[in-house]
Structures are given as structure tokens and as C-alpha cells.
């Protein structure tokens, strides 16, 4: 007796495998069934995306599949109206058990937990830790065909990491380092990518976010990190790379609802809601909401309260037009934590030499931290022809960053009684309002010439950014029971700081801050040519007309204008459908004034001391390889890179000049996806070395760059024990970080450290799950930011945190 053999994803389907069934499906049902099966069947990424990016699974609407009379084509609206009416009359589908697939070895059947209706649309179905493509239409090829290092962090990884903010994500991402608010910079998401400051190189849905603020994770679909200069894609800056946050969008093919509630130690209470509702076959809306009230694990007194809402809608009146809109509001309200003091004698933080890690060196009756974000977007995608698509997006937003904080700086150990040693808390303050409006419009052309699939994206971008930055007065008080200065510095006891000292005065704004306006007009062309999915060439060029002006309340008006031309070029060779080898080169430019929050002359802001300095120039070279294993469920990457910065700014005899040059080179490895159907992994390793290759300051010559971790590693693994239980954990390593201005000149150093996390999840039913997690299991002292002066303070990571979360889907 012969047996019909079919791929495991198609077994059990009589109409497709030839096996007879007692119950025969009608034609519309067969169409829907076949379409659904094809949508979730694992397929070759390389074959599916030849000549273009992968598309998310599509649910076919059966009524729209009926043959239409050839003589007369009915209007779109009546046809859709009939389809809608039929759907409303159709009986409500009965819930079915979780789908199962046989393992490649044919042993057992396992539920596909990852193939949830709210799964990341850019990821690989059934492989939640693996992302196949980037969200922007500027990247025509899947990630395996991209001639550059791309690190993608899907929301499933973010959830398993327990990350609730961008800072949490950065803490456990190799190649990224957190920085402090210093030199006039605002306290916020300051990050370094491959050794270079990227605080102004953060994007949301492909549009630059100039707010230098605090970013939440509740509305993130995935985070995309382009390593190496990316000016041809992103514009100014991006010396070490660019970070793009992709937000959750409304989808019109399915409705779903998800509620997550978390409680834990450190007074942690957090809840999120994600609801996608299909209103009609053409229109859907999505709501994401978040509320949190918590402290910070391992830190006294610190509060981290926030709430937010994000609304998104998608409208597709016909097959050639898609309109999307979104709005996000987030509010932060807490007590700022600027870390612990540094022991200059021992060259290590005081928490390594006997001071409690929980000590908080701030004033709870004076200090505060508030941040507000209001951002709205409207986008249209118009299919002009079968080969030409127009995309246009407008984003308008405002952010407010408002704080008074007390970083613990110099420590006085002159008293012969160590119990009386003191820390001087020197207050920092900021009231910064950033308004921006940006329009991106481009046309994507897809065409075949001589057997080569070509994709050309040509577009323009116009933006206006306005930032007003101010500070606070009234930070001193005669009520302080210890010596103070007129600026409000307070003396704490090193071992037992008094945080509750009375503060009858209310900080008041100075109203002396300048306003910085940045106007950018850009044009770009990006081309991708794919020959038989064997040789792929990618190249782009971009011109930015950059103009920045500083208008002070008192003092001189400053202006800087630059024309910036940058490019990228790369070639990919695919000897096998699941393997690629590539080489690439890319450039970028850092003009003066690009970091609008900076008030010090050598921190990127526009001030009198650097207005005549030209743009810093960056060039990166990279060779690498990417391989997909285990039926293309696991992506392994490796890359060698070198980035060179010339005309780098440094302060010489009180003036800022472009007399320095730096070099960062290294190797990067990545591994993400599934090793088996039950075992998921997400890992990265970055090993770098840096060098000041040129400097007018003789002492800096040959030294390495300061304030970055040159070696970093993360491994997260999750294993499904059976149909109900999953366990997982992660290990993160950060190497020592040397202090200094740009070169490591102070001798200060932060120690290296490991962090270990673990979690376990029980899927009680298909719709209800409970997760228990412990982060920083061994309560290690880990340090994530370093002030550059000789009397620095250092940010300290949270201590051990235990949480229990419940997820309900309906």
C-alpha cells in the first residue's frame, strides 16, 4: 500500500496532498484553507524574497476571490459592501485548539506558541527570535542579503528580557554602551554604537527623533540597529550607526486583544494593553496603553512612574491605496537617579569599597524628573503602477524634558574620622522643549533589466527642529543643615546620606535658555540590483542641506550651514541560497550643532567656541558573512569592521578645532532563531579596539577612546519543555570602561561585570499564561555610564528584581 508523502506543514490537508477526506470543502473554503496554509508554511527566505522584501502573512478574503464577469467590472465599493454584509451574516467561528506541527525528526507534536495573531509581522513565522526583514521600504532585500551588520530586536525578545525602556534594551545589547548626561547634555537616552555617540541618531519608524528624551517599550514592534555609518539612509550623524524604533501598526486582516499585568519587588506594578480591532475589511484601529508605578531595584527612594497611550489606524479603501496614522502620548514622573560617587584613590566606584549600593545621593524634597512626549504621524502608500509606489509620511511632535537632579561628585576624605567623610552633590537642571515636523516622500521603482531585479528608491526629506533649553534657579536653601553653595550644592554623608532634608524653596526657571533651530533639506537615491539571487549590489547617495541657528536671550546669534554628501556601496555574493558573503563601505558626517542639547563646545551643540569647526567625517569598511541553518530557522552572522573619523573636534588652548582622528575596529558575531523546534536562542558578541590616531594634544596620541565598553556579550536562550512549560535565561557581559574626555586621559576606570537573568513561563491555556522572572539574579554591582571629569559620578544598574506576570489574550 503506497503512502502519499508531503511536507510536514501540508500533511493532513486532503485537497493538497491527495489523501481522501470524508468531508468535501466548498470552493471558497478551499481557497481560504490553501491561502492560510501557504501563509504559515516555512519557506526559503531567499526564494520568497528574491528581488524584494519579504511580506507578512496575508489572510485571503474569500468573497473577494469570486470570478467577475469579463464584460463589466463592478465598482470596488459595492463589491466590498457585499463582502462585508456576508461576513456579518456568517456564523461566528468556533475556537480551535492551538495549531501543531511535527518536529523535523517526526517525534511528537508541539504547539506553535510563537505564531500568535499579535506576532511581529517582520519576523519569521514560528521563530519569534528571528527577524527576516527591516520595516522601511528603503531596504529592498531581506536581512541575509543586506551588505551590513543589522541587529534586530523583536518585541518577543524585548518581552523575554523584561525590558520596559530603551535603556533596558541597550543594557543587554552587545556593541551598545549607555552614556551620562554631561557637558550641557540632557539626561536621557544617550547611547554609543560601535564606540561613537549616537544620542541624536535615534529614529522612530524611519524618521529622526530629535528629542533626546526617555523612550518606553510598550508600543515597540522591533528595534533595528544599523551598524556602521548610515548617512545615505538616515542623514547627518550616524558615525557608529543608527537605531530605529518600529512601532506597532493596526492590521486589517485580524482582530486580537492582549493584556499583561506585572507585579514584583521594588514596588513594581505595571500593566499594558494591546487591542487591534478590525472595523471593516478596509479599516482597523489599534490601541496600546501602559501604566507603571515602581521603584528601582537596589536603589533607595528612586521612583520610576509612567503611563502612556498609542493609537494607530490603517485604512485601505482599495488595492492601490493604504493610509496609516498614529499618535503617541507618554508621561514620565519620577525621582532621578544619577548614581554613586567615584573613589579616585582606588580608581573604582565607592560601592566597590564598602558603600552600600542602595545609597541615594539626592534630595527628595527638591529633585524631580518629568518627561512628556506627544507625537503624531500620517502616511500614505500609493501604488501608482504595477512597478511604481509612492510613499509619503508627515510626522509632528513635541517633547518636554524637565528635571532637577543631584549627581554625587567629589568626595572629601580629609577628616581623620572616616565615618564623617562627605560627598558633594552638585545639582544639574534642565527644562528642554523640542518641537519638530518632518516630511519624507519617495518613490520605489521595481523593474527587471536583463534578468536583474532592480529596486530604486528616490526621495526627498524636509525637516524643521526647534529646541529651547533652559535651567533652574532657586536650588539653594538656607534651611540646609550643612554647607551649601549659591548654586545649591549639598553635602551628604558618604555612608548614610540624608535625603529628607527640608527644602522650602521651589526651583524656578531662569528663562535665559537659547532656542536652536535646525532646518534640513535632503535628497537621496538608493538602488538595489539582484541577479538571480546570486550577486546583489546595493548602493546609495544622499545630500543634506543642513542649517542650524542659535538664538540666545542675551548674547550673539550663531549660525552654521553645511552641505553634506555621503554614500554607501556594498556587494553580496550568495554561493548557497542560505548563505551570503559581503563587503561594504559607507560614509557619514557629523556637523556642528547636530546635538542640539549640548551646551559645552566639544559636545556637539552649537556654541561660540565651535561655530567655525567643520563637519567630522566618518568612513567605515566591513566584510562579513550570514548563514541560515536548520531549515532557515537560525541566522548566524559574522563581520569584521573598521570605522575612521577625521576632522574630529577637540579642545586645544580653549578653542575647538578639527585636529583629531580616531579609529575603531573589531569583530561582531550574532546568532538568533531556533536550534530545534523547542530551543530558541538570541546572542551577540562584539570585540573592539580603538585608537586616537591623530591629535594636537600629545598626551592623547595613541590612546583608546573613553566611555565605551570595548567588549560585550549577551546570550539569551529559551527552551520549551512540553506543551505547557517554557524556561529561559540570559547572560550579559560588559568589559571595563575607561574614563576621560574623548581619549582615556583621567585614569578612571569602571570594573567589568556579568549579569544573569532567568524566567519560566506556564501556558495555562491557549489564551492565558503566567511568567516568573528574576533579573540580575546575583545582585551584582554593574555600571552603565561614566561622567568624564576627574571627579566623576557613575550610573549604577538596577539590582536584583523578581517579577510575576500574567498574560491574557481574547
* Dihedrals phi, psi of 647, to nearest 5 degrees: 55, 35
Query: CA 343 → CA 142, 411, 469, distances in Å?
Result: 49, 8, 32
Distance between CA atoms of 773 and 81, rounded to whole angstroms? 48
Q: What is the pLDDT of residue 478?
A: 52
Dihedral sign computed on CA atoms, order 500, 503, 506, 508: negative
Name the nearest CA neighbour of 494 among 562, 548, 418, 435.
418
Output the nine-digit C-alpha cell for 122. 517582520
Dihedral sign computed on CA atoms, order 674, 679, 680, 683: negative
Residue identified by cell 495573531 is: 117
Distance between CA atoms of 514 and 555, rounded to whole angstroms? 9
* More reliable by pLDDT, 84 or 717: 717
Cβ-based neighbours of 393, under 8 Å, separated by 6 or more: 205, 206, 207, 377, 378, 379, 380, 439, 440, 441
Interior CA angle at 355 toward 349 and 360, to 5°?
90
Query: CA 219 → CA 120, 275, 347, distances in Å?
Result: 12, 11, 41
Q: What is the pLDDT of residue 59?
A: 40
Residue 85 CB neighbour total at 10 angstroms: 11
Q: What is the mean pLDDT of residues 409-423?
A: 94
Name the nearest CA neighbour of 150 among 244, 256, 43.
244
Q: For residue 533, what is the DSSP state?
A: T
Tens of pLDDT, residues 132-165:
999 999 999 999 999 999 999 999 999 999 999 9
Output the nine-digit C-alpha cell for 734. 560588559
Residue 426 CB neighbour total at 10 angstroms: 20
Q: What is the mean pLDDT of residues 589-604?
A: 79
Q: What is the mean pLDDT of residues 691-710?
A: 92
690 touches 703 (CB < 8 A): no
Q: Quote the pTM value.
A: 0.85
What is the rounded (10 degree) CA torsion for 270, 772, 299, 682? Answer: -100
Residue 171 has pLDDT above 50, yes or no: yes
Q: What is the mean pLDDT of residues 781-801?
A: 87
β-pair type (256-264, 490-493): unpaired
Residue 649 has pLDDT above 70, yes or no: yes
Q: What is the pLDDT of residue 482?
A: 52
Residue identified by cell 556637539 is: 604
With left for phi above 0 and alpha for psi between -120 and 50, is residue 420 left, alpha or beta? alpha
Name the nearest CA neighbour of 682 among 52, 41, 125, 127.
127
Structural domains of the chain sorted by starting position, each given as residue range(s) with its CATH number in brackets: 25-63+81-205 (2.170.130), 207-216+221-809 (2.40.170.20)
Q: What is the mean pLDDT of residues 193-214?
A: 91
What DSSP assignment string belongs to 178-196? E----TTPPSS--EEETTE
Query: CA 392 → CA 380, 429, 465, distances in Å?
Result: 5, 38, 19
Distance between CA atoms of 745 and 700, rounded to whole angstroms? 7
Distance between CA atoms of 39 and 289, rounded to whole angstroms? 30
Residue 376 has pLDDT above 50, yes or no: yes
Distance between CA atoms of 299 and 302, rounded to whole angstroms? 6
What's the mean per-residue pLDDT of the chain? 85
Residue 22 has pLDDT above 70, yes or no: no
Distance between CA atoms of 139 and 160, rounded to whole angstroms? 27
Name the nearest CA neighbour of 339 among 781, 707, 794, 786.
794
- Determine which helix (DSSP H) or strand (DSSP E) holds 568, and give its type and residue range: strand 558-576
Q: What is the pLDDT of residue 184?
A: 53
What DSSP assignment string belongs to 294-360? -B-TT-SS-BEEEEEEEEEEEEEEETTEEEEEEEEEEEEEE-----EEEETTTTEEGGGTT--TT--
Residue 102 has pLDDT above 80, yes or no: no
- Three-class SS state of 18: coil
Q: What is the pLDDT of residue 83?
A: 41
- Determine which helix (DSSP H) or strand (DSSP E) holds 273, and give its type and residue range: strand 268-280
pLDDT band at 92 (very low <50, low <70, confident <90, very high): very low
Q: For residue 743, what is the DSSP state?
A: B
Tens of pLDDT, residues 188-201:
788 999 999 898 89
Q: Which of 1-10, 188-197, 325-334, 647-656 has the lowest mean pLDDT?
A: 1-10
Tens of pLDDT, residues 720-759:
999 999 999 999 999 999 988 777 777 889 999 999 999 9
β-pair type (508-509, 515-531): unpaired
The runs of H, that is alpha helices, within 525-607 are: none
pLDDT band at 792 (very low <50, low <70, confident <90, very high): confident
Q: Over the Cα atoms of the chain, what is R_g?
A: 28
250 touches 287 (CB < 8 A): no
pLDDT band at 287 (very low <50, low <70, confident <90, very high): very high
Q: What is the mean pLDDT of residues 162-169?
A: 94
Q: What is the pLDDT of residue 67?
A: 40
With left for phi above 0 and alpha for psi between -120 and 50, is residue 65 left, alpha or beta? alpha
Q: Which of 62-66, 723-727, 764-768, 788-792 has the lowest mean pLDDT?
A: 62-66
Q: What is the pLDDT of residue 788?
A: 73
Give the residues across from 216 on adjacent strands. 165
Q: What is the pLDDT of residue 165?
A: 94
CA 738 to chain centre: 25
Q: What is the mean pLDDT of residues 632-640?
A: 98
Distance between CA atoms of 168 and 658, rounded to whole angstroms? 34
Amino acid at each position: 500500500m503506497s503512502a502519499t508523502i508531503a511536507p510536514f506543514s501540508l500533511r493532513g490537508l486532503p485537497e493538497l496532498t491527495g489523501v481522501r477526506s470524508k468531508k468535501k470543502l466548498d470552493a471558497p473554503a478551499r481557497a481560504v484553507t490553501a491561502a492560510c496554509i501557504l501563509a504559515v508554511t516555512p519557506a526559503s527566505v531567499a526564494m520568497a524574497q528574491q528581488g524584494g522584501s519579504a511580506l507578512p502573512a496575508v489572510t485571503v478574503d474569500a468573497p473577494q476571490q469570486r470570478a467577475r464577469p469579463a464584460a463589466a467590472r463592478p465598482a470596488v465599493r459595492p463589491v466590498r459592501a457585499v463582502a462585508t454584509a456576508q461576513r456579518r451574516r456568517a456564523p461566528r467561528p468556533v475556537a480551535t485548539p492551538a495549531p501543531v506541527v511535527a518536529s523535523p525528526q517526526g517525534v511528537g507534536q508541539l504547539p506553535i506558541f510563537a505564531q500568535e495573531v499579535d506576532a511581529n509581522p517582520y519576523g519569521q513565522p514560528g521563530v519569534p527570535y528571528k527577524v527576516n526583514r527591516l520595516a522601511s521600504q528603503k531596504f529592498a532585500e531581506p536581512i541575509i542579503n543586506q551588505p551590513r551588520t543589522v541587529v534586530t530586536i523583536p518585541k518577543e525578545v524585548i518581552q523575554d528580557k523584561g525590558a520596559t525602556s530603551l535603556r533596558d534594551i541597550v543594557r543587554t545589547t552587545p556593541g551598545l554602551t549607555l552614556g551620562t548626561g554631561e557637558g550641557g547634555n540632557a539626561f536621557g537616552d544617550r547611547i554609543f554604537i560601535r564606540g561613537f555617540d549616537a544620542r541624536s541618531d535615534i529614529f522612530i519608524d524611519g524618521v529622526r527623533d530629535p528629542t533626546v528624551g526617555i523612550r518606553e517599550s510598550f508600543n515597540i514592534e522591533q528595534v533595528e540597529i544599523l551598524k556602521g555609518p548610515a548617512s545615505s539612509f538616515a542623514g547627518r550623524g550616524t558615525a557608529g550607526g543608527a537605531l530605529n524604533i518600529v512601532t506597532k501598526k493596526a492590521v486589517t486582516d485580524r482582530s486580537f486583544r492582549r493584556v499583561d499585568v506585572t507585579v514584583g519587588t521594588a514596588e513594581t506594578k505595571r500593566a499594558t494593553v494591546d487591542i487591534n480591532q478590525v472595523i471593516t475589511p478596509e479599516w482597523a484601529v489599534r490601541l496600546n496603553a501602559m501604566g507603571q508605578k515602581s521603584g528601582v531595584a537596589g536603589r533607595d527612594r528612586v521612583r520610576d512612574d509612567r503611563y502612556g497611550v498609542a493609537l494607530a489606524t490603517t485604512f485601505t479603501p482599495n488595492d492601490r491605496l493604504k493610509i496609516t496614522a498614529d499618535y503617541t502620548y507618554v508621561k514620565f514622573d519620577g525621582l532621578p537617579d544619577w548614581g554613586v560617587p567615584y573613589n579616585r584613590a582606588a580608581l573604582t566606584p565607592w560601592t566597590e569599597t564598602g558603600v552600600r549600593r542602595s545609597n541615594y545621593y539626592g534630595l527628595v524634597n527638591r529633585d524631580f524628573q518629568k518627561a512628556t512626549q506627544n507625537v503624531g504621524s500620517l502616511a500614505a502608500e500609493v501604488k501608482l503602477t504595477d512597478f511604481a509606489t509612492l510613499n509619503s509620511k508627515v510626522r509632528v511632535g513635541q517633547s518636554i524634558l524637565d528635571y532637577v537632579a543631584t549627581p554625587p561628585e567629589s568626595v572629601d576624605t580629609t577628616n581623620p574620622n572616616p565615618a564623617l567623610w562627605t560627598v558633594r552633590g552638585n545639582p544639574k537642571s534642565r527644562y528642554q522643549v523640542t518641537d519638530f515636523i518632518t516630511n519624507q516622500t519617495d518613490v520605489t521603482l521595481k523593474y527587471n533589466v536583463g534578468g536583474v531585479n532592480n529596486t530604486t528608491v528616490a526621495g526627498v526629506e524636509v525637516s524643521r527642529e526647534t529646541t529651547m533649553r533652559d535651567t533652574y534657579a532657586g536650588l539653594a536653601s538656607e534651611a540646609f543643615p550643612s554647607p551649601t553653595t549659591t548654586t545649591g550644592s549639598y553635602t551628604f554623608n558618604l555612608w548614610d546620606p540624608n535625603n529628607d532634608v527640608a527644602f522650602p524653596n521651589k526651583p524656578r526657571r531662569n528663562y535665559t535658555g537659547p532656542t536652536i533651530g535646525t532646518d534640513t533639506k535632503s535628497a537621496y537615491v538608493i538602488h538595489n540590483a539582484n541577479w538571480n539571487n546570486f550577486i546583489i549590489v546595493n548602493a546609495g547617495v544622499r545630500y543634506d542641506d543642513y542649517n542650524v541657528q542659535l538664538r540666545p536671550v542675551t548674547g550673539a546669534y550663531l549660525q552654521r550651514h553645511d552641505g553634506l554628501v555621503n554614500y554607501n556601496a556594498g556587494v553580496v555574493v550568495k554561493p548557497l541560497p542560505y548563505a551570503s558573503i559581503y563587503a561594504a563601505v559607507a560614509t557619514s558626517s557629523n556637523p556642528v550643532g547636530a546635538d542640539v542639547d549640548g551646551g559645552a563646545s566639544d559636545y556637539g551643540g552649537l556654541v561660540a567656541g565651535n561655530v567655525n569647526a567643520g563637519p567630522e567625517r566618518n568612513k567605515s569598511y566591513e566584510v562579513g558573512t550570514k548563514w541560515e541553518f536548520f531549515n532557515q530557522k537560525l541566522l548566524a552572522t559574522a563581520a569584521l569592521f573598521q570605522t575612521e573619523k577625521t576632522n574630529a573636534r577637540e579642545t586645544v588652548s580653549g578653542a575647538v578645532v578639527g585636529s583629531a582622528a580616531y579609529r575603531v575596529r573589531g569583530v561582531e558575531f550574532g546568532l538568533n532563531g531556533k536550534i530545534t523546534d523547542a530551543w530558541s536562542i538570541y546572542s551577540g558578541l562584539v570585540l573592539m579596539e580603538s585608537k586616537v590616531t591623530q591629535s594636537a594634544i600629545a598626551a592623547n596620541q595613541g590612546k583608546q577612546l573613553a566611555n565605551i565598553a570595548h567588549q560585550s556579550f549577551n546570550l539569551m536562550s529559551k527552551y520549551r519543555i512540553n506543551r505547557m512549560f517554557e524556561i529561559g535565561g540570559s547572560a550579559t557581559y560588559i568589559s571595563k570602561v575607561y574614563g576621560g574626555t574623548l581619549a582615556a586621559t583621567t585614569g578612571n576606570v569602571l570594573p567589568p561585570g556579568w549579569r544573569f537573568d532567568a524566567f519560566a513561563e506556564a501556558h495555562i491555556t491557549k489564551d492565558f499564561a503566567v511568567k516568573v522572572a528574576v533579573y540580575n539574579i546575583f545582585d551584582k554591582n554593574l555600571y552603565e555610564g561614566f561622567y568624564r571629569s576627574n571627579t566623576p559620578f557613575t550610573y549604577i544598574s538596577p539590582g536584583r528584581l523578581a517579577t510575576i506576570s500574567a498574560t491574557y489574550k481574547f
